[in-house]
Amino acid sequence: MNLWRKFNGEVIHEPIVLAVENAIRRESEAGHKLMVCIGSDSQVRGEKIEFATVIVFLREEKGGFMFINYDSIHFKMRIKERMIAEVSKSIQVAYELCDLLDKYGVELEVHADINTDPNFKSNVALKEATGYILSMGFEFKAKPHAFASSCCADRVI
């Protein structure tokens, strides 16, 4: 997970922690209160699984923006494994950013593209994903409240 982009496709050349810090500073100087939501989604395409992980910056009552990372693997996974892989990618980014976000007083949520309704296939991973995220100390949202993964990452994958 090295190459990050902005929504417009512009490559972020600096380390993601520095890019996030610069974004926080810029938004704070403009008078915006921020919240960050991190989520991932995936698509199976033949023998390949493509992942998108997003860092969504929400400005209180003023819209938002996001940074995007793409990754892919050539490996077969069952639905449960794939859902946990998505969560793992989100947690990896959240862990990398949590000290920085604490420093600036920015709230953080990790969003999982896992449905709370047992009638959906992704629900098989809900218990494990919830435990994984909460044990890392992060605020957790699942569908239908997990817009970072189910809307933002889903849109760019």
Domain that holds residue 149: 4-156
pTM of the model: 0.93
pLDDT at 118: 87
Distance CA 119, CA 115 (A): 9
Structural domain count of the chain: 1
* C-alpha dihedral sign at 1, 107, 95, 142: negative
- Residue with more model confidence, 1 or 26: 26
SS3 content of the chain, % helix, strand, coil (to 5): 40, 35, 25
CB 151: neighbour CB atoms within 10 A? 16
Supply the Cα-derived Rg of the chain in whole angstroms.
15
- Model confidence pLDDT, tens digit, residues 110-157: 999 998 988 888 888 999 999 999 999 999 899 989 999 988 988 888
- Any idea which residue has 């100390």 for tokens? 137
pLDDT at 111: 95
pLDDT at 117: 86
For all residues of the chain together, what is the average pLDDT?
93
Percent with pLDDT over 90 in the chain: 83
CB contact set of 141 (below 8 Å; sequence gap of 6+): 37, 109, 110, 111, 112, 148
- Model confidence pLDDT, tens digit, residues 34-56: 999 999 999 999 889 999 999 99
Closest CA to 51 of 129, 153, 155: 153
Q: Domain of 136: which CATH number?
A: 3.30.420
**What value does the mean pLDDT take over residues 77-97?**
95
pLDDT at 72: 93
